[in-house]
A and B are shown apart, each in its own frame.
Chain A
């Protein structure tokens, strides 16, 4: 016999070895090679995710920065009443108005409580011959600012060009200051394997004792201690049977029946729903326009409430001709708690449907509570404008999320996922306050809210327990509502947004 006969025989035998792979392999391969076609989609998803993450950072930034604007009042057409304003609103010691006599140097100076953040819309009447100027509102502060524009307009000091230039200079300075702050803000804000072992080792796994021969498995290693000698015992035959059983289990092209061997793996495949729970804790916000990015240049509070003056004085503490500006609505804590059902629709994609309860909140500064409907027709009680206390607006929702979860990591690395989806939520309760600009009162009225909200969401999830069957997934989560919060009022042109950290855990069998 030639030297290399053994190797040749082995080669020939091994060339005959053909095993049928499970269908799952081709599915995974086809998905992987189709990836190239889906590059654009992936880029779109990643872009969306980055956008939402940016918005999350923006919201978080808002939580830690941002001043306050409270109860600013703009007077337009009623100079006669301006002297009375201080008396009428004595409950709010931060509201002052200066009449024309308080304005030295041709009415240029406008007083404010904290000598900062002066409202800068000074409407001048046609009578003065000075064109109305639209000016921007600077960063809000705690100050209350009222501008006796008409008073100023009536002041003869406003008539000459020099004065006009001075006013323009003030406005320009404020615009510059505002723009600088805005730019800064914008800049900152953009700133197994298994089975196997048994399968293998058990074939000749046990210690095989023969007459003088012992094969000892050291984990998977096998060492021959002695040479095989002597006759074959019954023990050997049992081992032989075990080997045969194992060999029979190998799915070859000859004997493989569909689904015979791969049952444990198929449990992970399509068609089965896994249940789980999810919890997220984070920061909720009610942002102007779309995340405060589109339409960012204006200050919504001011725009919405610098309404034309009323000529009549009401009986409810309203001040005719005065428009109040609501306090700044700040971000607040929020959380989401729910259950979900998850189904694998491809090797790397899961479809998720769930049911959540979520609570968002925001905070604002308000004045004292008044428990009398006589003073205010809209509600039985209301709050004055002011800085006396912080009020927390709560929004309670029931949410139905629909999402896709994409596995981003490669086969054997620590798994992480991208979650994207939409959700429909129903506002089931709220104690959020509305604001009436004429009276400066805060009151509760849920009828103006859009009860049904459609949101988009995205999140990254990292496995905390590696490749465990039911891993705990943790990661950032962003949600943004596409609908406006309310049809009108304080929350018109605002959207819910949320940035948090979520934890998900499947509890079903896999």
Chain B
């Protein structure tokens, strides 16, 4: 989809265009914000701050780029800032130096839907959750993650390894619940 015209209209501060842009991207971006936070309310706070930044800096967006990706990066950065600023998250966002956990070879087929999977990701400790989101979903490297969070590359790797291991385990268990339910005819 070509957003060039929409962006131009937004740059002219036309409210209708601004709302259209918001309505188009807000659901997906709230999904992004939701993964980084522990509550929907917090996710909406992040979304709000993120969209304000989007409109403020829209002139910096280059039409050749992917608007979706550009907005997503803003949301991720905003979410990270939110975690650092918010006391409740900041206290949990501790990245202890832990021995590198052996990377699991397990690659289960995920039979959960998006909602279920996102809910499990959000159950991870905040540190694990953040690094898992950044590495597995956003595609940042451990070096980049280290820079973003102020930790070493090794810490990022070990934290991710733990997170991945934990999540796979939960997915397995959750899937087994579902199978049991099916078996019992629920």
Determine whether the beta carbon of A222 is less than 8 Å from that of B34: no
Determine whether the beta carbon of A14 is less than 8 Å from that of B39: no
B126: chain A residues at CB < 8 Å are 220
A21 within 8 A of B: yes
Determine whether the beta carbon of B18 is less than 8 Å from that of A10: no
Determine whether the beta carbon of B22 is less than 8 Å from that of A196: no
B26 within 8 A of A: yes
B41 within 8 A of A: yes
In the complex, how many residue pairs between chain A and chain B have their CB atoms under 8 Å apart?
Answer: 180
A192 within 8 A of B: yes
From A23-31, A40-48, A179-187, the one touching the partner chain is: A23-31
Query: Which residues of chain B from 5 to 29 have a CB within 8 Å of any chain A CB?
Result: 13, 15, 18-19, 22-23, 26-28
A188 within 8 A of B: no
B95 within 8 A of A: no
Known: A5-B107, A16-B114, A33-B18. A265 touches B41 (CB 8 A): yes
A265: chain B residues at CB < 8 Å are 41
A468 within 8 A of B: no
Determine whether the beta carbon of B119 is less than 8 Å from that of A30: no
Known: A204-B123, A232-B176. A193 touches B88 (CB 8 A): yes
From B46-54, B59-67, B144-152, the one touching the partner chain is: B46-54
Interface of chain B, main secondary structure: helix
Determine whether the beta carbon of A199 is less than 8 Å from that of B38: yes
CA of A221 to CA of B39, assembled, Å: 15
Determine whether the beta carbon of B40 is less than 8 Å from that of A199: yes
In-complex Cβ contact of B26 among A9, A25, A33, A222 (8 A): A25
Residue of B nearest to A228 (CB): B173
Residue of A nearest to B22 (CB): A26
Determine whether the beta carbon of A194 is less than 8 Å from that of B18: no
B166 within 8 A of A: yes
Number of chain A residues close to chain B: CB under 8 A: 63
B2 within 8 A of A: no
Q: How far is the CB of A199 from chain B (nearest CB, A)?
A: 5
Determine whether the beta carbon of B34 is less than 8 Å from that of A243: no
Query: Which residues of chain A from 237 to 262 have a CB within 8 Å of any chain B CB?
Result: 237, 240, 243, 246-247, 250-253, 261
Determine whether the beta carbon of B27 is less than 8 Å from that of A18: yes
Q: List 10 A-B contacts (CB under 8 A).
A: A21-B26, A21-B30, A21-B44, A193-B86, A200-B38, A220-B92, A222-B124, A232-B180, A236-B177, A247-B119
| Apart from A11-B136, A20-B30, A240-B178: 10 A-B pairs, beta carbons within 8 A | A5-B107, A10-B136, A193-B41, A199-B38, A199-B39, A201-B123, A228-B173, A236-B173, A236-B177, A411-B48
B residues adjacent to A (C-beta < 8 A): 13, 15, 18-19, 22-23, 26-28, 30-31, 34-35, 37-45, 47-49, 51-52, 55-56, 85-86, 88, 92, 106-110, 112-119, 121-126, 135-137, 139, 164, 166, 168-170, 172-174, 176-178, 180-181
